[in-house]
A and B are shown apart, each in its own frame.
Chain A
Amino acid sequence: MTERTTEQAPPQGPRDEDPAAGSATLDTVTDPGPARGGRSRGSSSGGRGERVFRGLTSGSGLLVVVAIAAIGLFLLVQAVPSLMANNANFFTSPLFDTRDPANLNFGIRDLVVVTVLSSLFALVLAMPVALGIALFLTHYAPRRVARPFAYVIDLLAAVPSIIYGLWGIAVLAPALLPVATWLQGNLGWFFLFAPGNLPVLTGTIFTGGVVLAVMILPIITAVTREVFAQTPRFHIEAAQALGATRWEVIRMAVLPYGRSGYIAGSMLGLGRALGETIAVLIVIRAATTPSNFSLFDGGYTFASLIASAASEFSQPLPTGAYIAAGLVLFVLTFVVNAIARVIAGGKVNG
């Protein structure tokens, strides 16, 4: 009976900058550092600690940047000779033929199509489900249901990729066959559901996307649930006091607050889907003709192609071709991240 959750929200709030700002104006002459007043006395030791800490933090920040740049540079250096020797157009050729080092013909057109299509399809499936589960867990389910349910969802993240792959091809693919047949029969005029480059409707991007959706569901759900649960009580009460129903409270207080977190979580999921290797390699069949931009295509993603070719990595030129592909995947995930930041940063709230 001592915990007091409703009243007296913690004193530091997003609007409490005023005192700090006030002290900053007083202190400007002496110390432009962090505006916590009352530091001027012990300034020599405080200053040293401050400097060490700042050095440590900016140093480790720099280290990460350098590491990423080094990885990028490594990929580039390895890739350039192969790109020079390439006889096909790297961006538009659907072929990836490195069997003869003297006659390299490789392009990433189909890798991009299969990677992006399968990942986006997974995202489209997983995002609404994750949103629903996160809302259910944080705002509808009674606590004793929410706990075990959340635990089960988290467990999905612990299942090894290879198991997802086996499950996808052995269980899911046949189970999805009627769905795929129906979609193609009724919506086949739409390019996504048009006939693909595989003779059958199993082991397609469609199947792979569903597997990926299940795989990324736990990440998106976990992040989203976390931010939704942190919606400040006083935002929720603002809506409740106006006579908002539970759903209206969610719309007015929870979703605006959690929106950027939801998007960030989804982008984490997308990143995982773009890079997923072994499950995709098992589930999506190889195709012999170029992709038709259909969900019923087969083929390789960047990651699954590179993994499948690991045995060829003894010669530098063919290896460089795969490294070039890896470089594109690297850039792709970077771009996804940047986009996520722009979307999420648009309306961040305290």
Chain B
Amino acid sequence: MAKRLDLKDVDIYYGDFHAVQDVNLSVAPRSVTSFIGPSGCGKSTVLRTLNRMHEEIPGARVDGEVLLDGEDIYARSSDAVSVRKTIGMVFQRPNPFPTMSIRDNVVAGLKLAGVRDKKKLDEVCEASLRGANLWKEVSERLDKPGGGLSGGQQQRLCIARAIAVQPDVLLMDEPCSALDPISTLAIEDLIDDLKKDYTIVIVTHNMQQAARVSDQTAFFNLEATGKPGKLVEIDDTATIFSNPKQQATEDYISGRFG
């Protein structure tokens, strides 16, 4: 299941614009890595290259290697659709399919993978909703549309949908930024649970959150607008927050912590 990720000399472009330069990093299986850094430095861009969502933007392209357990997901033999089936993603804004029932939302990925067995779908649906800590709240209304849940519930539904296919890696782009503190805590607890089974990469603007949930933290920065973003430093979360090697990291962290 959980696989490791290695980025080797990754450069990311939007047309002529060089958005992110020369990223090298590794993510161990069953760990949480968080991406932090100022707005526009390319955190989302890097995250979206990890499941080949980046290339959906016209003109966008990626150089370098992104290895999933040693296999390049950008190799000619692999295609974006199958990569995304094994690397799940949760977005900043909860995006359940609004008219689909809660159950169908959860098993949407399985259905895409061709699973038709009703019993199996129901089992996975329950397990995923339990995994996402949502089962108790929705077990009575699985046939109601996913759009009828609260924001925090919708986000957990999206997490359930992402883990229903048992992805090798789970990517989350500011999954809590649209949520209240209680839902945020619920999701942080969930990430802690999920890390037993999944490799997780999370983008966050909330440094306490990065400190709370992640084993490893990557700091991205931007020298100037128009310049490409860079990975400044990646290390154990404890080290990054207490004793970073780079001055820029120190400045960013202390500036934010005040």
Contacts and interface: CB of A to CB of B under 8 A. Distances in A.
B135 interface: no
Interface magnitude class on chain B = 35 or more
Interface string A1-20: 10001111100011100100
B252 interface: no
A341 interface: no
Interface stretch (B64-72, B78-86, B185-193): B78-86
Nearest to B89: A241
A242 B165 contact: yes
Contact of B151 (A15, A235, A244, A347): A15
Interface string A218-243: 00000000000000001101111111
Nearest to B98: A349
A350 interface: yes
Contact of B17 (A1, A245, A253): A1
A256 interface: yes
Contact of A245 (B81, B86, B150): B81
Given A1-B17, A6-B48, A13-B93, A240 B53 contact: yes
A6 B94 contact: no
Nearest to A238: B95
A14 B82 CA distance: 31
Given A243-B82, A256-B99, A349-B98, A234 B57 contact: no
B95 A244 contact: no
Interface residues of A, number: 28
A312 interface: no
A245 B226 CA distance: 34
A248 interface: yes
* Most A C-beta atoms less than 10 A away, residue of B57, B93, B100, B162: B93
A125 interface: no
A350 B97 contact: no
B156 interface: no
Nearest to B60: A6
A147 to B, nearest CB: 15
A8 to B, nearest CB: 8
A214 interface: no
B109 A7 contact: no
Q: What does DSSP make chain A's interface, helix, strand, loop or mixed? A: loop
Given A7-B92, A240-B84, A15 B99 contact: no
A254 to B, nearest CB: 11
Given A242-B165, A350-B98, A248 B112 contact: yes
A263 interface: no
A237 B226 contact: no
A261 to B, nearest CB: 13
Interface in B13-54: 14-17, 44, 48, 51, 53
Nearest to A10: B93
B56 interface: yes
B112 A240 contact: no
B229 interface: no
Residue of A238, A244, A248 with most chain B CB atoms under a 10 A cut-off: A238
Interface string A91-125: 00000000000000000000000000000000000
Contacts of B175: none
A243 B81 contact: yes
Given A15-B94, A253-B97, A242 B226 contact: no
Contacts of B161: 242
A13 B147 CA distance: 12
Contacts of A349: 98-99, 147
B91 interface: yes
Contacts of A8: 92
Interface string B106-120: 001100110000000
Given A15-B154, A243-B85, A349-B99, A234 B91 contact: yes
Nearest to A242: B109
B168 to A, nearest CB: 12
A241 B100 contact: no
Interface of B: 14-17, 44, 48, 51, 53, 56-57, 81-86, 88-89, 91-100, 108-109, 112-113, 147, 150-151, 154, 158, 161-162, 165, 173, 178, 226
Given A13-B93, A14-B147, 5 more contacts: A1-B14, A1-B226, A237-B91, A349-B99, A349-B147
22 contacts: A1-B16, A1-B226, A6-B44, A7-B92, A9-B93, A15-B151, A234-B91, A237-B56, A238-B96, A239-B97, A241-B88, A242-B84, A242-B109, A242-B112, A242-B161, A243-B82, A244-B81, A244-B112, A248-B112, A252-B97, A253-B97, A350-B98
